[in-house]
């Protein structure tokens, strides 16, 4: 594998790191909380059982890094409304199908006859549009900085190929403004961030320097192997116990300070920053991407505007607090009872990267 170590050596190193983290934790004199911002990290942490390996006073909480989870109900309501029209085909990633809107889901719309197709890349929508010239093909563009460049590339390709029946229902989001909103939220308590690996490949690490400069908050960008995550925790502990705050990069093989200029350029051609609504957090200034006026022809909301009321959380669902690391899923009275993956009340139980789904699948951790 990537470390070039045997399994035995990896286990030894993991043990040493955990012991060092424990030693530092003893000197900390208080409970420390680190937030993993990315849903892929959440799943990796649970799969490896890292939470159980950590000392009592070092806690890992999950953040708003599951794109499906932070997408509010009204987006799903719009998607369902478009899907139920006779003249549309929806293309989407598979995990959107079961996400509940305020009344139903895309899955239910599909059962009612809506044409909804699962794609693995937004670019797949181009062929669907070519094959169905009399339909409006709408891609559900949900995701962070990682997916925006491909969504942008799809729009650029459609324009270049003269395709006039391909649209985006866009709810692209940006990670740094969400972290700022969390740090400004008096309910949120966190001592450092495990920063997202894939997002940082695109954005670079410089976009996170406001964490240290304005909030004296350390962050470590890291990959998805258990050892990388442990090493990032070790580095966070080192900083916190010394009262330091730096952005460090534990994923230097693929993440650079400036990120990927080509990907940033593609995004920037098609999109501009705009206010966006996050489930559980509300509107965060300049935390989303809207399609530029020059690409308005590919924006389904400008072609067929819908008046859908702002999404409200499901009664009893605490997904919004779970996404801010304020409560754990097991503090939700519906967890594992009325809300299970096969019958999810909130999106945190739907997505494979959802915090509630991870707790359910891998046991409750601690």
Binding residues (CB under 6 A) for ligand SF4: these are 317-319, 322, 329, 332, 334-335, 339, 345-346, 348-349, 356
Nearer to ligand SF4, 14 or 69 (CB): 69
Look-up of token digits 């559900």: 140
Q: Which residues partner with 93 through β-bridges? A: none
* Least Å from the CB of residue 73 to ligand SF4: 12
Nearer to ligand SF4, 62 or 239 (CB): 62
Look-up of token digits 């705050």: 245
* Least Å from the CB of residue 324 to ligand SF4: 12
Residue nearest to ligand SF4 (CB): 346
* Least Å from the CB of residue 93 to ligand SF4: 19
Within 8 A by CB and 6+ apart from 112, the residues are 84
Rounded to an integer, what distance in angstroms lies between the CA atom of residue 230 and that of residue 243? 20
* Least Å from the CB of residue 317 to ligand SF4: 3
Burial 88-110 (b: 16+ CB within 10 A, else e): bbbbbbebbbbbbbbeebbbbbb
Report how far apart, in Å, the C-alpha atoms of 305 and of each of 54, 291, 296 are: 50, 14, 12
Nearer to ligand SF4, 13 or 327 (CB): 327
Among 55, 23, 14, 10, which residue's Cα sits nearest to residue 232? 14
* Least Å from the CB of residue 341 to ligand SF4: 10
Rg (CA), the chain: 21
Among 16, 32, 44, which residue's Cα sits nearest to residue 231? 16
Q: Which residues partner with 33 through β-bridges? A: 59
Q: What is the dihedral of CA 63, 92, 174, 256, to 10 degrees?
A: 90
Nearer to ligand SF4, 242 or 312 (CB): 312
* Least Å from the CB of residue 228 to ligand SF4: 27
Nearer to ligand SF4, 82 or 359 (CB): 359
Nearer to ligand SF4, 180 or 279 (CB): 279
Rounded to an integer, what distance in angstroms lies between the CA atom of residue 306 and that of residue 293? 18
* Least Å from the CB of residue 36 to ligand SF4: 17
Nearer to ligand SF4, 77 or 299 (CB): 77
């Amino acid at each position: 594998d990537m470390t070039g170590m045997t399994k035995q050596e990896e286990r030894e190193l993991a043990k040493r790191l955990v012991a060092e983290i424990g030693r530092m934790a003893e000197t900390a004199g208080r409970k420390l909380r680190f937030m993993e911002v990315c849903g892929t990290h959440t799943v990796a942490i649970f799969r490896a059982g890292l939470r159980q390996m950590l000392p009592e006073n070092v806690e890992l909480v999950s953040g708003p890094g599951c794109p499906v989870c932070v997408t509010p109900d009204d987006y799903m309501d719009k998607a369902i409304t478009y899907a139920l029209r006779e003249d549309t085909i929806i293309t989407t990633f598979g995990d959107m199908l079961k996400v509940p809107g305020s009344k139903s889901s895309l899955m239910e719309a599909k059962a009612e006859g809506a044409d909804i197709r699962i794609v693995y890349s937004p670019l797949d929508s181009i062929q669907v549009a070519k094959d169905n010239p009399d339909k409006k093909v709408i891609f559900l563009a949900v995701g962070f900085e990682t997916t925006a460049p491909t969504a942008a590339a799809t729009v650029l390709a459609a324009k270049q190929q003269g395709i006039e029946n391909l649209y985006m229902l866009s709810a692209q989001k940006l990670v740094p403004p969400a972290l700022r909103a969390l740090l400004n939220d008096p309910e949120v308590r966190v001592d450092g961030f495990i920063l997202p690996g894939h997002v940082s490949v695109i954005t670079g690490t410089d976009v996170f320097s406001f964490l240290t400069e304005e909030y004296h908050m350390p962050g470590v960008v890291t990959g998805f192997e258990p050892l990388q995550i442990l090493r990032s925790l070790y580095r966070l502990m080192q900083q916190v116990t010394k009262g330091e705050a730096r952005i460090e990069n534990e994923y230097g093989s693929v993440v650079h300070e400036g990120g990927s200029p080509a990907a940033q350029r593609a995004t920037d051609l098609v999109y501009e920053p705009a206010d966006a609504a996050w489930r559980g957090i509300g509107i965060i200034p300049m935390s989303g991407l809207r399609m530029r006026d020059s690409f308005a022809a590919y924006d389904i909301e400008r072609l067929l505007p819908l008046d859908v009321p702002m999404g409200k959380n499901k009664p009893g669902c605490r997904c919004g607090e779970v996404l801010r690391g304020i409560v754990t899923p097991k503090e939700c009275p519906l967890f594992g009872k009325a809300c299970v993956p096969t019958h999810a009340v909130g999106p945190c139980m739907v997505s494979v990267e959802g915090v509630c789904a991870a707790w359910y699948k891998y046991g409750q951790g601690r």
